[in-house]
Amino acid sequence: MTAKIPFRERLAQGVILADGAMGTMLHAQQSLPMDTCFDALNLDDPAVVAEVHHRYIEAGAEIIETNTFGANIYKLGACGLQKQCAAINRAGVELARRVVDAMYRDNLYVAGAVGPLGVRLAPFGRVTPEQAFEAFRIQLEALVEANADVLILETFTDLYEIAEAVKAARAVDDTVPVIAQMTFTRDDRTLLGDTPAQVARALRAMGADVIGLNCSGGPAQLLRIAQLMHQAEPGAYLSVMPNAGWPEQVGGRVMYPATPEYFGEYALALQEIGARVIGGCCGTTPEHIRAMRDALDDPARTHPVIISVPQPPEAADSEVPEQPTDLARKLAAGQFVVTVEMSPPRSFTAQKVTAAAELLREAHVDFINVSDSPMARMRMSPWAVCHLVQHHVGMETVLHFPTRGRNLLRVQGDLLAAHALNVRNIFVVMGDPTKIGDYPDAFDTHDIPPSGLITLIKRSLNQGVDYAGNSIGQPTSFTVGCALNVNARDPEREIKLLRKKIEAGADFALTQPVFDPATLARFLDAYAAQHGALDLPVLVGILPLNNPRHAAFLHNEVPGIDIPERTRQRLIDAGDDSKSEGVYIAQELLLELKDMAQGVYIMPAFGRYDLAASVVDVLERSPL
């Protein structure tokens, strides 16, 4: 075995492959709960930790991280082990070193792994920078004394915190190379809002030998962020260690979807953008690392794959481009979408709402529309419902945003609040007049009509300024829908209104309930005669009818709804089975409308979301 090349020299020679997840492997091998103090296994069960190191080296990893990610006095203190901090860290290095030395391979590096403290630093928490520095110093000193080749600071969310870690590493021994990595949320920013460019510059200024990112999402997201970091600091060595995709709960277990083959393909893409250290994080296994090793050693062995290496933005100072919503992506791809309207609850409890959303997700509904005080009746804020559905159920939502009762200050503030909650699909509508609801004397005026609000969102907020032209710091990324009444008694007027909304920047339209496909066809023909084929995606409203009385009420008392006599008669003839007949009618409409529109917008009456699920069953859709 030849002498090991110093780590900094090895960096200059090309890509170095690191290992993958430690916690994932220990959890899987020993069936240990994920809240186990895995670091303590360095002392309590060193053989199981050594086996994980061995498997990663066999898979082709060149950097072996110690099992010390959480071995700081704060995290160990939660397990009552803070006094063993130095011993656990020394044991972590010694374990990895023994395995590395036993493998008789050239240029294997032991990396002392250091994660965040698990407590917030000032000004966002009560731990002072000095206290953080001391906690990191204790851990890093043990790692260096045990002869770690390199120090890897990973999964940090706070630049203030990682700065103290880098400072402590340099104070302990400034000759040991340091890899500094941050983690990002789904919006391509850190938890505290820093962009990839800001992170890259800060880490470089701290003096880290390698700057980068780990954890976060899967390879696609990290490839995109890494390109932005490289654009900001093109002279820096870059490290990228993605999760095996976003974790999912399956049968009570946390599962990661990205396959080893997928990681192998992305190893080449990461190499192409100039990454020098690559590896895996949560959910990755020796199989993922082996696939990356094979790809790097012989690119021809990987399966052909279409991976779009992101083009760098024109300026490194540009803000992080927001990714389009799932709804925007599906509409742009021409996919048929199914969305269901849900009303917020009348109280502050939302368990039934999320349970209904779970039902609709299982029925393969794509999106949930959340109405705002339907029929002008007091209900929970729809922003809260959208957030709860997205957070607890994992379904993207469309927020109904009426202009009534809001002045320009509140309109813009509410929109920014929605965006902060990651609610980025907006359906702009006038809203039901308060005189028909619970509070007929309530304020009911507005500063801006729906078409004007669409303009404000698309031409102001989405461009990074407010209505008055003041900067809002960064552009929003709303996808905006408008209302369309294909049953209008004055179709000429409705076409003019639609043109205004399209010119304002509307991305899609939701119609009122349609009970005769010919109605939609006539409207589209009338529009085409004046302006050519409508190129705005239309999601057609479908309202399952409950019984003859329900149909009669809608037909006679709700403006814009026209139910053919034959449909009403079918419900009468169905007798006690009228509810089932209403579902059959809705299913027939869905199938007839499928080739005329880009989606359907199902509006179940009386909270019967089970009926909406039954309507969708006719499509026999598979999960995407």
Q: Which fold has domain 7-301?
A: TIM Barrel (3.20.20)
Residue 230 scores a pLDDT above 50: yes
For the chain, residues classed under CATH 3.20.20.330 are 7-301
d(CA 467, CA 215): 38
d(CA 428, CA 538): 14
What are the structure tokens assigned to 444, written together? 């009911």
d(CA 462, CA 468): 14
Which of 109-118, 206-215, 279-288, 294-303 comes out lowest in average pLDDT?
294-303
Query: Taking all residues of the chain, what is their mean pLDDT, rounded to a whole number?
Result: 88
Percentage of the chain with pLDDT > 70? 89
Q: Is the dihedral of CA 35, 221, 419, 116 positive or negative?
A: positive
Ordered strands of the 237-242 beta sheet: 16-17, 275-278, 237-242, 210-215, 178-182, 150-156, 109-114, 63-65
pLDDT digits (tens, 9 = 90+) for 330-388: 999 999 999 999 988 887 778 888 899 999 999 999 999 998 865 546 678 888 899 99
d(CA 520, CA 541): 11
The mean pLDDT of 88-94, rounded to a whole number, is 97
H helix intervals, 104-243? 129-145, 159-172, 196-206, 219-232
- Compute CA distances 533 → 153, 265, 297, 498, 525, whole Å: 56, 41, 53, 13, 8
Q: What is the DSSP letter of 80?
A: T
CA dihedral 132, 134, 137, 139 (to 10 degrees): -80
Contacts 24+ apart (CB under 8 A), 203-206: 203/162, 203/166, 203/236, 204/233, 204/236, 206/162, 206/163, 206/166, 206/167, 206/180
Residue 319 scores a pLDDT above 60: no
Residue 255 scores a pLDDT above 80: no
pLDDT digits (tens, 9 = 90+) for 561-606: 889 999 999 999 999 999 999 999 999 999 999 999 999 999 998 8
The mean pLDDT of 504-511, rounded to a whole number, is 96
Would you state the pLDDT for residue 256?
55
- Compute CA distances 341 → 360, 544, 623, whole Å: 11, 12, 20
β-bridge pairing 150-156 and 248-250:
unpaired
For the chain, residues classed under CATH 3.20.20.220 are 326-546+581-619
The mean pLDDT of 494-515, rounded to a whole number, is 95
CATH among 3.40.50.1010, 3.40.50.261, 3.20.20.220, 3.30.559.10 for 326-546+581-619? 3.20.20.220
SS3 386: helix
Would you state the pLDDT for residue 352?
85
Would you state the pLDDT for residue 250?
43
What are the structure tokens assigned to 556, written together? 């006679």
β-bridge pairing 248-250 and 253-255:
antiparallel
Is residue 21 within 8 A of residue 282, CB to CB? The reply is yes
10 Å Cβ neighbour count for 355? Answer: 12
Residue 537 scores a pLDDT above 90: yes
Beta strands in 491-546 (DSSP E): 508-513, 538-542
Is residue 33 within 8 A of residue 25, CB to CB? The reply is no
